[in-house]
Amino acid sequence: MYINITDSETGDNKGSSGQLVNYLEKENRTAFEEKIENELWFNSLNSDISPQEVRVNIDNNVAKLSRNDAKFFLINISPSEKEIIYLKEKFGEKGAEEQLKKYAVGVMDTYARNFKRPGIESSNDLLWYGKLEHYRYYHHTDEEVKEGIAQLGQPKAGEQMHVQIIVSRKDITNKIKLSPMNNSRGRNKQHSAKLGQFNRIAFKESGELLFDQMFNYNRILKDSMTYALTMKNGNAEQKRAVHLLDQLESKRSGTDRQNILDTAKEIYQNNSPDLDQLIDTIGDSAVSILGALFSSEPLMYENSEEQLPHYKKKKKRKRRPPTI
């Protein structure tokens, strides 16, 4: 599950939302030729909102915002191809679309609660509009375009269903400023109190957990945000420990996956994972972990060249006899 917050896909969120709304109508412009119905906008209250209503309401919800202030933000909710296939097998083509919209409402509930602001408790306290899209297109920044493999604007292959959400900088009452870009850690408490301190990593993790719980999705460690964060930002010990958990999960079908995910998250949050604690957490699977730790078989994972020296034993130097 990929969830991201940006200023705007069109590059400007300090003026009217019209350009972005028009951009997100791109699939509707070819709907008539493809003989499919227009995809209308939705939120937690309605599912048949016109693009004109979206633009007018977002543009008018800007009380006490200066010319240089952000007026809205774009939230991208993109399930992986594996997750999309899972939804379609479980609910059917149309059912998967409706379920993804319901999931988007749940994501906006977690978005609201992440601010930890009085009066901002759910998606109903926000001014936001979502748009379901079925395709993605190659941009000039994609490697395939740079290498000449794909053409600019060409549709990407595979399952690409996703949701784009425009959310106002101000709440539904047009009184409270809310910025997901405010990630201060107590340096300016007064500023954080006004805008709401927003933890983007916690928000994305909440979105992943919501998907798993809402659809009874059995996520493997390698598909989790914790795994990606550890392999990107973790130290050698963290990467090795999480990789061992991944090996354990793949070799033992009966392993409790939620236990694995929780353990991996704990490892990532602690700079020096405690092996004894790791064994206690996994319980009966400790033997497998110890076996992997002392196995002569090399562990293949990212940046292995950088990490191997960390685990090599130092050779003892032979003492020379004293010279006479």
286 & 265 share domain? yes
Q: Is residue 311 part of a domain?
A: no
Query: Interior CA angle at 204 toward 228 and 188, to 5°?
Result: 110
pLDDT score recorded for residue 192: 56
90 & 21 share domain? yes
153 & 288 share domain? no
Question: How many domains does the chain contain in total?
Answer: 2
Residue from 119, 110, 250, 117 nearest 167 by CA? 110
Q: Is residue 315 part of a domain?
A: no
25 & 72 share domain? yes
> pLDDT 10s digit of each residue in the chain, 324 long?
999 998 766 568 999 999 999 999 999 998 777 778 899 999 999 999 999 999 999 999 999 999 999 999 999 999 999 999 999 999 999 999 999 999 999 999 999 999 999 999 999 999 999 999 999 888 888 899 899 999 998 889 999 999 999 999 999 999 999 999 887 555 555 655 555 679 999 999 999 999 999 999 999 999 999 999 999 999 998 998 898 888 888 876 656 778 888 888 888 887 666 666 566 655 555 555 545 544 545 555 544 444 333 434 444 455 555 554
How is the beta sheet containing 2-6 ordered, strand by strand?
A: 2-6, 72-78, 162-171, 126-133
175 & 226 share domain? no
81 & 148 share domain? yes
Residues in the chain, total: 324
Using left for φ > 0, alpha for ψ between -120 and 50, and beta otherwise, residue 264 falls in alpha
3-state secondary structure of 16: coil
For residue 60, what are the domain limits?
2-214
**Rounded Cα distance, 173 and 65, in Å:** 14
Residue 270, both tokens = 């602690």
